[in-house]
């Protein structure tokens, strides 16, 4: 059972229950989510999101209910199906600024989503893998309206990763991700493309809108500081008194492409080859925390330091 409440630009309340897996093979879960935004991205200009901010006035309210069922076969094969109901209400200001923010220029949407996910995972770690491989396939139908004629869209996603030791303390890692949508344009609320859930190095401050994309991310990793353990003798709770940490030096080279049939004249990165490269440090420590600092470049002239927390792909 999880209960979460956070305030800020996105006030959120989440109640989640996960039924323990029966015989470690199958189980179900349910989740209720409530979001209220007083700062919201409504459009993309120069491949960067434009935000509207208010002082305590609600720009977007999103309520959703989710039910999931998962099944594990032969230890490494995982199947998961998720049914979701969403109730979305947008302020008139958002729809005036972007009539395509919600389907058909409406200020409200009540929709059904369904998603199936299959994954196969044989990595030595889910947090910071250095050997093994994994694959995942996802099919989803999103935005099926219960209040108008909008029928939504389908999305197929494929991803995989492979990592292996190259020599003493040196590792190679590659990740690939592709996504396809069966329509040439989707409402802005769904934010499809690179820079939202998926990104490539050197484009951290950019979003590239489109209906389909592919990304290949490559990393060369050197174990700069092998695992060390630090005891905090002053900690009264012994279970929290041991901290471990490992430091890795890395070099990145990423390639991506986003397809957009109707690109905006205000953006220029879609339908172009995207290259990102650089170097950095990863600190892996207790409670599965990964702190990363990178200096990255891209082929559009952006470069600089980028800090990540628990984003290692």
Strands (E), 46-131: 48-53, 60-73, 77-90, 108-123
Give a yes or no: residue 180 inside a domain.
no
Same domain, 23 and 155: yes
User: Which of 138, 160, 182 finishes a domain?
Assistant: 160
Helix (H), strand (E) at residue 252: strand 242-259
Of 141, 160, 179, the residue at which a domain comes to its end is 160
79 and 135 share a domain? Answer: yes
What's the total number of domains in the chain?
2
Q: Is residue 99 part of a domain?
A: yes
Q: Which residues of 213-230 are buried (b: 16+ CB within 10 A; e: fewer)?
A: bbbebbbebebeeeeeee
Query: Is residue 123 a part of any domain in this protein?
Result: yes
Mark whether 55 and 148 lie in a shared domain.
yes
- Say if 24 falls within a structural domain: yes
Query: Which of 160, 184, 212 is where one domain is finished?
Result: 160
Q: What are phi and psi of 103, to 5 degrees?
A: -55, 135
Q: Are residues 90 and 9 in the same domain?
A: yes
**What is the per-residue burial (b if ≥16 Cβ within 10 Å, else e) of 23-51?**
eeeebbbebebebbbbebbbbbeebebee
Q: Does residue 278 form part of some domain?
A: yes
Same domain, 4 and 150: yes
Residues 156 and 204 in one domain: no
Does residue 23 sit in the same domain as residue 149? yes
Same domain, 202 and 61: no
Rounded CA-CA distance 34/13 in Å is 5
Residue 91 domain-assigned (yes or no): yes
pLDDT at 311: 59
Q: Which residues contact 155 (CB under 8 A, 6 or more apart)?
A: 138, 139, 140, 142, 179, 180, 181, 182, 192
In the block, tokens 């030791």 appear at 165
Residues 138 and 28 in one domain: yes
Gap between the Cα atoms of 179 and 29, Å rounded: 26
> Does 184 map to a domain?
no
- Identify the pLDDT of residue 240: 77
Does the model's pTM come out above 0.85?
yes
Residue 283 sits in the same domain as residue 212: yes
Measure the CA–CA gap between 32 and 275, rounded to whole angstroms: 39
Closest by alpha carbon to 67, among 91, 40, 101, 32?
A: 32
Per-residue pLDDT of the chain (313 residues; tens, 9 = 90+): 999 999 888 899 999 998 876 666 888 999 999 999 999 999 999 999 999 998 767 899 999 999 999 999 888 999 999 999 999 999 999 999 999 999 989 999 999 999 999 999 999 998 999 999 999 999 999 999 988 889 999 999 999 999 999 999 999 999 999 999 999 999 999 989 999 989 999 999 999 999 999 999 999 999 999 999 888 888 888 777 888 899 999 999 999 999 999 999 999 999 999 999 999 999 999 878 899 999 999 999 999 999 998 755 4
Please compute Rg for the chain using Cα positions: 21
Same domain, 25 and 140: yes
Q: Is residue 187 situated within a structural domain?
A: no
Residues 74 and 213 in one domain: no
Q: d(Cα 283, Cα 244) in Å, to the nearest integer?
A: 10
Contacts of 206 (CB under 8 A, 6+ apart): 47, 48, 195, 269, 298, 302
Domain of 142?
Answer: 1-160
């Amino acid at each position: 059972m999880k209960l979460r409440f956070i305030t800020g630009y996105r006030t959120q309340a989440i109640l989640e229950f996960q039924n323990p897996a029966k015989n470690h093979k199958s189980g179900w879960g349910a989740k209720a989510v409530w979001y209220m935004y007083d700062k919201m991205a409504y459009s993309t200009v120069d491949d960067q999101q434009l935000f509207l901010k208010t002082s305590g006035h609600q720009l977007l309210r999103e309520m959703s209910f989710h039910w999931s069922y998962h099944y594990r076969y032969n230890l490494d094969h995982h199947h998961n199906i998720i049914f979701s109901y969403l109730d979305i209400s947008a302020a008139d200001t958002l729809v005036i600024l972007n009539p395509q923010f919600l389907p058909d220029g409406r200020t409200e949407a009540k929709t059904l989503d369904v998603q199936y996910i299959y994954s196969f995972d044989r990595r030595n770690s889910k947090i910071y893998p250095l050997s093994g491989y994994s694959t995942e396939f996802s099919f989803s139908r999103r935005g099926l309206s219960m209040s108008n004629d909008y029928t939504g869209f389908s999305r197929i996603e494929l991803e995989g990763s492979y990592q292996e030791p190259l020599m003493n303390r040196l590792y190679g890692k590659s990740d690939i991700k592709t996504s396809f949508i069966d329509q040439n344009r989707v409402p802005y609320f769904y934010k499809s493309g690179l820079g939202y859930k998926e990104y490539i190095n050197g484009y951290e401050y950019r979003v590239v809108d489109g209906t389909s994309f592919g990304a290949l991310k490559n990393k060369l990793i050197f174990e700069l500081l092998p695992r060390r353990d630090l005891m905090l003798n002053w900690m009264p709770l012994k279970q929290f008194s041991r901290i471990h940490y490992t430091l890795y030096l890395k070099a990145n080279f990423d390639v991506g492409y986003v397809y957009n049939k109707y690109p905006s004249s205000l953006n220029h990165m879609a339908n172009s080859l995207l290259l990102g490269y650089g170097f950095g440090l990863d600190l892996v420590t207790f409670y599965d925390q990964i702190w990363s600092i990178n200096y990255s470049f891209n082929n559009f002239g952006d470069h600089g330091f980028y800090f990540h927390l628990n984003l290692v792909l």
